[in-house]
């Protein structure tokens, strides 16, 4: 059974700092990995999708990497801003394609 772990559970940084969020998964047989953002009381917003054949994806100040063989992904946020404060979730889709398995998230606070 796939298990997804996110470290750290919470992170507080000053504005402008670059930061890295970590995601690990136990079964490397995946189709893709997706990073989401969730604001309090809201749904999930997709940030980046990395297919299993890819090593990284970039969108603006966000860069996500994937090392499928070691079961790891990182989300790099450059020049963090208070508006980046949210919970960040990673999810992997197994090769059966039928479901996404989520980590418990990293709660990020960026202080002005």
Partner 1 sequence: DGGITQSPKYLFRKEGQNVTLSCEQNLNHDAMYWYRQDPGQGLRLIYYSQIVNDFQKGDIAEGYSVSREKKESFPLTVTSAQKNPTAFYLCASSNKGVSHTEAFFGQGTRLTVV
List contacts with partner 1 (CB under 8 A): 4, 31-32, 34, 36, 41-46, 49, 51, 89, 91, 93, 97-105
Residue 7, token pair as written in the block: 């470290």
What residues are paired with 48 via a beta bridge? 35
Q: Which DSSP string do the residues of 67-101 spell out, in sequence order?
A: ETTTTEEEEEE-S--GGG-EEEEEEEEETT-S-EE
In whole angstroms, the minimum distance from the beta carbon of 110 to partner 1 comes to: 20
Measured from the CB atom, the residue of 10 and 79 that comes closer to partner 1 is 10
Provide, rounded to whole angstroms, the least separation between the CB of residue 18 and partner 1: 26
């Amino acid at each position: 059974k796939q298990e997804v772990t996110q470290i750290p559970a919470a992170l507080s940084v000053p504005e402008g700092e670059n930061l890295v969020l970590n995601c690990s998964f136990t079964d490397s047989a995946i189709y893709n990995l997706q990073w989401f953002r969730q604001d309090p009381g809201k749904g999930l917003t997709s940030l980046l999708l990395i297919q299993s054949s890819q090593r990284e994806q970039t969108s603006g100040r966000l860069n996500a990497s994937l090392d499928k063989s070691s079961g790891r992904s990182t989300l790099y946020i450059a020049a963090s801003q208070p508006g980046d404060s949210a919970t960040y979730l990673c999810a992997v889709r197994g090769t059966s394609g039928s479901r996404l398995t989520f980590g418990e998230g990293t709660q990020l606070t960026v202080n002005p």
